[in-house]
Structure 1
Amino acid sequence: MRYLIALFALLLVPAVYGQGHGLTVSPENRCGEYNSRDYSYSPTVEASIINRQGGIYSPYNLECFQDRGETDIEHIVARSEAHDSGLCAASVMTRKRFAQDLDNLTLAAPNLNRRIKVAKDVAEWMPTENKCWYVNAIIKVKRKYGLTVDQRESDVLNEWLGRCQSFDMVKPRCSTVSTPRRSGKCGPYSNCTALRRDHPGGVARGHCAYKSRMDRDKDGWACER
Protein backbone atom coordinates (compact mmCIF):
# COMPACT_ATOMS: atom_id res chain seq x y z
CA MET A 1 0.00 0.00 0.00
CA ARG A 2 2.81 2.39 0.92
CA TYR A 3 4.46 1.56 -2.42
CA LEU A 4 1.28 2.50 -4.31
CA ILE A 5 0.97 5.78 -2.41
CA ALA A 6 4.60 6.64 -3.14
CA LEU A 7 4.16 5.76 -6.82
CA PHE A 8 1.02 7.92 -7.05
CA ALA A 9 2.88 10.82 -5.45
CA LEU A 10 5.66 10.52 -8.03
CA LEU A 11 3.15 10.65 -10.86
CA LEU A 12 1.81 13.93 -9.50
CA VAL A 13 5.23 15.61 -9.67
CA PRO A 14 5.18 18.00 -12.65
CA ALA A 15 7.70 17.50 -15.44
CA VAL A 16 10.64 19.89 -15.38
CA TYR A 17 10.61 21.90 -18.63
CA GLY A 18 14.37 22.33 -18.58
CA GLN A 19 14.79 18.55 -18.88
CA GLY A 20 12.50 18.22 -21.85
CA HIS A 21 14.78 17.73 -24.83
CA GLY A 22 13.77 14.08 -24.95
CA LEU A 23 17.05 12.89 -26.46
CA THR A 24 19.18 9.93 -25.42
CA VAL A 25 22.34 11.05 -23.63
CA SER A 26 25.32 9.00 -24.73
CA PRO A 27 28.97 9.63 -25.62
CA GLU A 28 29.67 10.23 -29.30
CA ASN A 29 30.63 7.04 -31.10
CA ARG A 30 32.00 6.70 -34.63
CA CYS A 31 30.75 3.17 -35.22
CA GLY A 32 31.72 3.29 -38.88
CA GLU A 33 33.95 5.34 -41.17
CA TYR A 34 32.67 8.80 -42.08
CA ASN A 35 32.50 9.47 -45.82
CA SER A 36 31.08 12.80 -46.95
CA ARG A 37 29.89 11.17 -50.19
CA ASP A 38 27.32 9.27 -48.12
CA TYR A 39 25.97 12.67 -47.07
CA SER A 40 25.96 14.33 -50.48
CA TYR A 41 23.32 16.88 -51.48
CA SER A 42 22.45 18.91 -54.54
CA PRO A 43 23.44 22.62 -54.60
CA THR A 44 19.99 23.31 -56.05
CA VAL A 45 18.53 22.78 -52.57
CA GLU A 46 19.76 26.31 -51.79
CA ALA A 47 16.81 27.76 -53.71
CA SER A 48 14.44 25.86 -51.41
CA ILE A 49 16.27 27.15 -48.33
CA ILE A 50 15.97 30.76 -49.53
CA ASN A 51 12.33 30.24 -50.44
CA ARG A 52 11.60 28.78 -47.00
CA GLN A 53 13.49 31.49 -45.11
CA GLY A 54 12.07 34.25 -47.27
CA GLY A 55 15.40 35.79 -48.23
CA ILE A 56 19.14 35.38 -48.65
CA TYR A 57 20.44 35.74 -45.11
CA SER A 58 21.92 33.78 -42.22
CA PRO A 59 19.82 33.40 -39.06
CA TYR A 60 23.04 32.86 -37.12
CA ASN A 61 24.02 36.54 -37.22
CA LEU A 62 21.24 38.14 -39.33
CA GLU A 63 23.73 38.89 -42.10
CA CYS A 64 22.05 39.68 -45.43
CA PHE A 65 23.58 38.77 -48.79
CA GLN A 66 23.14 40.21 -52.26
CA ASP A 67 23.05 36.84 -54.00
CA ARG A 68 23.60 33.13 -53.46
CA GLY A 69 27.22 33.33 -54.52
CA GLU A 70 28.01 34.91 -51.14
CA THR A 71 26.63 32.03 -49.07
CA ASP A 72 27.23 28.40 -48.15
CA ILE A 73 24.57 25.80 -47.53
CA GLU A 74 24.88 25.15 -43.80
CA HIS A 75 23.86 22.03 -41.88
CA ILE A 76 22.52 23.02 -38.45
CA VAL A 77 23.49 19.60 -37.10
CA ALA A 78 26.73 18.98 -38.96
CA ARG A 79 26.93 15.83 -41.04
CA SER A 80 29.94 14.39 -39.21
CA GLU A 81 28.35 15.28 -35.87
CA ALA A 82 25.21 13.39 -36.90
CA HIS A 83 27.37 10.46 -38.05
CA ASP A 84 28.96 10.22 -34.60
CA SER A 85 25.55 10.59 -32.93
CA GLY A 86 23.90 7.60 -34.55
CA LEU A 87 23.83 7.92 -38.34
CA CYS A 88 26.99 5.82 -38.59
CA ALA A 89 24.63 2.86 -38.11
CA ALA A 90 22.04 4.13 -40.61
CA SER A 91 21.66 3.29 -44.29
CA VAL A 92 23.21 5.47 -46.99
CA MET A 93 19.68 6.36 -48.08
CA THR A 94 18.93 7.74 -44.60
CA ARG A 95 22.20 9.66 -44.56
CA LYS A 96 21.42 11.29 -47.90
CA ARG A 97 17.91 12.14 -46.73
CA PHE A 98 19.41 13.79 -43.67
CA ALA A 99 21.88 15.77 -45.79
CA GLN A 100 19.05 17.28 -47.86
CA ASP A 101 16.48 17.75 -45.09
CA LEU A 102 15.31 21.37 -45.09
CA ASP A 103 14.66 21.14 -41.34
CA ASN A 104 18.43 20.94 -40.94
CA LEU A 105 19.52 23.44 -43.60
CA THR A 106 20.13 27.16 -43.53
CA LEU A 107 22.63 29.66 -44.97
CA ALA A 108 25.88 31.10 -43.64
CA ALA A 109 28.84 33.07 -44.89
CA PRO A 110 31.62 30.73 -46.10
CA ASN A 111 33.99 31.86 -43.35
CA LEU A 112 31.47 31.07 -40.63
CA ASN A 113 30.55 27.72 -42.15
CA ARG A 114 34.04 26.49 -43.04
CA ARG A 115 36.26 28.02 -40.36
CA ILE A 116 34.18 28.94 -37.32
CA LYS A 117 31.23 26.56 -36.87
CA VAL A 118 32.54 23.73 -39.05
CA ALA A 119 31.32 20.48 -37.40
CA LYS A 120 30.97 21.79 -33.84
CA ASP A 121 28.05 20.73 -31.70
CA VAL A 122 25.85 22.95 -29.54
CA ALA A 123 28.22 22.66 -26.56
CA GLU A 124 31.10 23.94 -28.68
CA TRP A 125 29.43 26.71 -30.67
CA MET A 126 26.35 28.94 -30.48
CA PRO A 127 25.23 31.64 -32.92
CA THR A 128 25.25 35.29 -31.90
CA GLU A 129 21.56 35.57 -32.86
CA ASN A 130 18.59 33.19 -32.74
CA LYS A 131 20.01 30.97 -30.02
CA CYS A 132 16.58 29.68 -29.01
CA TRP A 133 15.62 28.91 -32.61
CA TYR A 134 18.96 27.13 -33.07
CA VAL A 135 18.53 24.97 -29.96
CA ASN A 136 15.01 24.03 -31.00
CA ALA A 137 16.14 23.17 -34.53
CA ILE A 138 18.83 20.85 -33.18
CA ILE A 139 16.38 19.05 -30.90
CA LYS A 140 13.85 18.71 -33.73
CA VAL A 141 16.40 17.22 -36.13
CA LYS A 142 17.98 14.90 -33.56
CA ARG A 143 14.58 13.59 -32.51
CA LYS A 144 13.61 13.08 -36.15
CA TYR A 145 16.62 10.86 -36.84
CA GLY A 146 16.98 9.28 -33.40
CA LEU A 147 20.35 10.91 -32.77
CA THR A 148 22.02 11.13 -29.37
CA VAL A 149 23.63 13.98 -27.47
CA ASP A 150 26.61 13.77 -25.15
CA GLN A 151 26.38 15.08 -21.59
CA ARG A 152 27.75 18.53 -22.39
CA GLU A 153 25.30 18.97 -25.26
CA SER A 154 22.46 17.82 -23.02
CA ASP A 155 23.38 20.35 -20.35
CA VAL A 156 23.46 23.22 -22.86
CA LEU A 157 20.14 22.21 -24.42
CA ASN A 158 18.48 21.94 -21.01
CA GLU A 159 19.85 25.32 -19.98
CA TRP A 160 18.43 27.04 -23.05
CA LEU A 161 15.11 25.21 -22.91
CA GLY A 162 14.68 26.70 -19.45
CA ARG A 163 15.61 30.19 -20.64
CA CYS A 164 13.75 30.54 -23.91
CA GLN A 165 10.34 32.17 -24.10
CA SER A 166 10.02 31.68 -27.87
CA PHE A 167 11.70 29.46 -30.44
CA ASP A 168 10.68 31.50 -33.46
CA MET A 169 13.38 32.73 -35.82
CA VAL A 170 14.10 36.45 -35.66
CA LYS A 171 14.52 37.61 -39.26
CA PRO A 172 16.38 40.61 -40.70
CA ARG A 173 14.73 43.22 -42.92
CA CYS A 174 16.00 41.53 -46.06
CA SER A 175 13.80 38.51 -45.29
CA THR A 176 10.85 40.32 -46.83
CA VAL A 177 12.50 40.53 -50.26
CA SER A 178 11.35 37.19 -51.62
CA THR A 179 8.77 35.88 -49.18
CA PRO A 180 6.36 33.80 -51.30
CA ARG A 181 2.96 35.36 -51.91
CA ARG A 182 2.97 37.61 -48.86
CA SER A 183 4.44 40.60 -50.68
CA GLY A 184 1.57 40.69 -53.17
CA LYS A 185 4.05 41.47 -55.95
CA CYS A 186 3.22 38.62 -58.27
CA GLY A 187 3.51 40.29 -61.64
CA PRO A 188 3.19 39.19 -64.34
CA TYR A 189 6.67 40.39 -65.28
CA SER A 190 7.79 40.54 -68.89
CA ASN A 191 11.44 39.87 -68.08
CA CYS A 192 14.00 39.65 -65.26
CA THR A 193 14.73 43.36 -65.32
CA ALA A 194 11.11 44.08 -64.49
CA LEU A 195 10.95 41.34 -61.85
CA ARG A 196 14.08 42.56 -60.07
CA ARG A 197 12.53 45.98 -59.48
CA ASP A 198 10.27 44.27 -56.94
CA HIS A 199 12.48 41.29 -56.07
CA PRO A 200 16.16 42.30 -56.33
CA GLY A 201 17.46 38.84 -55.46
CA GLY A 202 15.10 36.96 -57.76
CA VAL A 203 12.45 34.49 -56.64
CA ALA A 204 12.35 30.76 -55.93
CA ARG A 205 10.04 28.15 -57.38
CA GLY A 206 6.79 28.37 -55.43
CA HIS A 207 6.77 32.17 -55.35
CA CYS A 208 3.78 33.63 -57.17
CA ALA A 209 6.11 35.61 -59.47
CA TYR A 210 8.20 32.60 -60.48
CA LYS A 211 8.10 31.59 -64.15
CA SER A 212 10.16 28.70 -65.50
CA ARG A 213 11.11 30.70 -68.61
CA MET A 214 13.02 33.11 -66.33
CA ASP A 215 14.87 30.26 -64.63
CA ARG A 216 17.55 29.78 -67.27
CA ASP A 217 19.66 27.24 -65.43
CA LYS A 218 16.58 25.38 -64.14
CA ASP A 219 17.84 25.38 -60.55
CA GLY A 220 14.55 26.51 -59.03
CA TRP A 221 15.57 30.18 -58.75
CA ALA A 222 14.47 32.74 -61.34
CA CYS A 223 16.30 35.96 -62.19
CA GLU A 224 19.13 35.56 -59.71
CA ARG A 225 22.06 37.86 -60.25
Structure 2
Amino acid sequence: MKHYGPTSTGEAGEAAAALVIDHLVPLAETWDSGASKWTKARRVAYAKYLTDPRHLVAVSARSNRSKADQDPATWMPPSPDATCRYTADWISVKRTWGLSIDQPEQDALTRPAASCPDQDIAYTPAA
Protein backbone atom coordinates (compact mmCIF):
# COMPACT_ATOMS: atom_id res chain seq x y z
CA MET A 1 0.00 0.00 0.00
CA LYS A 2 1.37 3.41 -0.94
CA HIS A 3 1.73 5.94 1.84
CA TYR A 4 1.82 9.67 1.46
CA GLY A 5 3.78 12.32 3.29
CA PRO A 6 2.37 14.65 5.90
CA THR A 7 -1.27 15.57 5.56
CA SER A 8 -2.51 19.07 6.23
CA THR A 9 -2.61 18.26 9.93
CA GLY A 10 0.98 17.07 9.95
CA GLU A 11 0.26 13.37 10.32
CA ALA A 12 2.76 11.26 8.42
CA GLY A 13 2.26 7.91 6.74
CA GLU A 14 -1.48 7.89 6.21
CA ALA A 15 -2.58 5.42 3.56
CA ALA A 16 -4.51 6.97 0.70
CA ALA A 17 -7.58 4.93 1.66
CA ALA A 18 -7.51 6.49 5.13
CA LEU A 19 -7.62 10.06 3.80
CA VAL A 20 -10.69 12.21 3.30
CA ILE A 21 -11.11 15.62 1.68
CA ASP A 22 -11.98 18.33 4.16
CA HIS A 23 -12.82 22.02 3.93
CA LEU A 24 -10.00 23.73 5.82
CA VAL A 25 -12.57 26.27 7.06
CA PRO A 26 -15.63 24.07 7.64
CA LEU A 27 -18.94 24.92 6.02
CA ALA A 28 -20.61 25.47 9.41
CA GLU A 29 -17.83 27.90 10.37
CA THR A 30 -18.27 29.83 7.12
CA TRP A 31 -21.99 30.09 7.84
CA ASP A 32 -21.27 31.57 11.27
CA SER A 33 -18.63 33.90 9.79
CA GLY A 34 -20.75 35.54 7.11
CA ALA A 35 -21.80 32.93 4.54
CA SER A 36 -25.33 33.00 5.98
CA LYS A 37 -25.72 36.30 4.10
CA TRP A 38 -24.35 34.93 0.81
CA THR A 39 -26.38 33.86 -2.18
CA LYS A 40 -26.81 30.16 -2.76
CA ALA A 41 -24.50 30.44 -5.79
CA ARG A 42 -21.69 31.91 -3.65
CA ARG A 43 -22.11 29.19 -0.99
CA VAL A 44 -21.89 26.52 -3.71
CA ALA A 45 -18.83 28.26 -5.16
CA TYR A 46 -17.15 28.11 -1.74
CA ALA A 47 -18.07 24.46 -1.20
CA LYS A 48 -16.61 23.43 -4.55
CA TYR A 49 -13.69 25.89 -4.75
CA LEU A 50 -10.73 24.22 -6.46
CA THR A 51 -8.76 27.31 -7.48
CA ASP A 52 -6.71 27.37 -4.28
CA PRO A 53 -5.46 24.07 -2.84
CA ARG A 54 -5.67 25.43 0.72
CA HIS A 55 -9.47 25.30 0.68
CA LEU A 56 -9.93 21.56 0.31
CA VAL A 57 -7.26 19.43 2.00
CA ALA A 58 -6.51 15.74 2.43
CA VAL A 59 -6.57 14.71 6.08
CA SER A 60 -6.93 11.49 8.01
CA ALA A 61 -10.49 10.44 8.75
CA ARG A 62 -9.56 10.52 12.45
CA SER A 63 -8.36 14.11 12.20
CA ASN A 64 -11.46 15.11 10.23
CA ARG A 65 -13.71 13.67 12.94
CA SER A 66 -11.65 15.38 15.64
CA LYS A 67 -11.81 18.80 13.94
CA ALA A 68 -15.43 18.53 12.76
CA ASP A 69 -16.73 22.10 12.38
CA GLN A 70 -14.46 23.71 14.98
CA ASP A 71 -12.37 26.81 14.48
CA PRO A 72 -8.83 27.41 15.83
CA ALA A 73 -10.22 28.59 19.18
CA THR A 74 -11.21 25.00 19.96
CA TRP A 75 -9.10 22.87 17.58
CA MET A 76 -5.58 23.03 16.17
CA PRO A 77 -3.63 20.36 14.26
CA PRO A 78 -2.21 17.65 16.51
CA SER A 79 1.28 18.19 15.09
CA PRO A 80 3.08 21.37 16.16
CA ASP A 81 4.90 21.28 12.80
CA ALA A 82 1.58 21.87 11.02
CA THR A 83 0.42 24.79 13.18
CA CYS A 84 2.13 27.58 11.21
CA ARG A 85 0.82 26.40 7.84
CA TYR A 86 -2.67 25.70 9.21
CA THR A 87 -2.87 29.14 10.83
CA ALA A 88 -1.72 30.99 7.70
CA ASP A 89 -3.99 28.92 5.45
CA TRP A 90 -6.99 29.51 7.75
CA ILE A 91 -6.48 33.27 7.63
CA SER A 92 -5.93 33.18 3.85
CA VAL A 93 -9.16 31.26 3.24
CA LYS A 94 -11.12 33.57 5.52
CA ARG A 95 -9.73 36.65 3.75
CA THR A 96 -10.30 35.14 0.30
CA TRP A 97 -14.01 34.94 1.04
CA GLY A 98 -14.36 38.03 3.24
CA LEU A 99 -15.34 35.94 6.26
CA SER A 100 -15.15 37.34 9.77
CA ILE A 101 -12.82 36.14 12.52
CA ASP A 102 -14.28 36.37 16.03
CA GLN A 103 -12.19 37.29 19.08
CA PRO A 104 -11.55 33.76 20.45
CA GLU A 105 -10.55 32.64 16.95
CA GLN A 106 -8.29 35.71 16.57
CA ASP A 107 -6.63 34.99 19.91
CA ALA A 108 -5.97 31.37 18.89
CA LEU A 109 -4.52 32.46 15.55
CA THR A 110 -2.31 35.11 17.13
CA ARG A 111 -0.66 32.83 19.71
CA PRO A 112 1.38 30.76 17.23
CA ALA A 113 2.24 33.78 15.04
CA ALA A 114 5.40 34.60 17.01
CA SER A 115 6.87 31.21 16.14
CA CYS A 116 5.87 31.46 12.46
CA PRO A 117 7.90 34.42 11.14
CA ASP A 118 8.32 33.01 7.62
CA GLN A 119 4.67 32.07 7.04
CA ASP A 120 3.03 34.02 4.21
CA ILE A 121 -0.63 35.00 4.33
CA ALA A 122 -1.35 35.48 0.67
CA TYR A 123 -4.79 35.46 -0.93
CA THR A 124 -6.84 36.74 -3.82
CA PRO A 125 -10.41 37.75 -3.03
CA ALA A 126 -12.96 35.36 -4.52
CA ALA A 127 -15.24 36.81 -7.15
TM-score by length of 1: 0.46
Q: Does 1:109 align with 2:60?
A: yes
Q: Which residue identity is paired with 2:99? A: L
CA distance in 2, matches of 1:167, 1:74: 22
Report if aligned partners of 2:9, 2:63 keep a CA contact under 8 Å in 1: no
Report if aligned partners of 1:123, 1:153 keep a CA contact under 8 Å in 2: yes
**CA RMSD in angstroms, aligned pairs only:** 1.8
TM-score by length of 2: 0.78
CA distance in 1, matches of 2:56, 2:47: 8
Q: Which residue identity is paired with 2:89? A: A
Deviation at 1:145, TM superposition (A): 0.7
Cross-structure match for 1:123: 73
Cross-structure match for 1:64: 13
Deviation at 1:57, TM superposition (A): 4.6
Deviation at 1:90, TM superposition (A): 0.5
Q: Does 1:153 align with 2:111?
A: no
In structure 1, stretches of 5+ residues that fail to align are 1-54, 169-225
Q: Which residue identity is paired with 1:58? A: T
CA distance in 1, matches of 2:89, 2:82: 10
Deviation at 1:111, TM superposition (A): 1.9
Deviation at 1:62, TM superposition (A): 2.8
Cross-structure match for 1:21: none
Q: Which residue identity is paired with 2:111? A: E
Deviation at 1:94, TM superposition (A): 1.2
CA distance in 1, matches of 2:7, 2:76: 13
Report if aligned partners of 2:34, 2:100 keep a CA contact under 8 Å in 1: yes
Q: Which residue identity is paired with 1:163? A: S
Counterpart pick for 1:132 among 84, 88, 91: 84
CA distance in 2, matches of 1:82, 1:64: 30
Which is higher, the Rg of structure 1 or of structure 2?
A: 1
Superposition pairs of residues 7-26 of structure 1, within 5 angstroms: none
Cross-structure match for 2:40: 92
Cross-structure match for 1:75: 23
Deviation at 1:112, TM superposition (A): 1.6
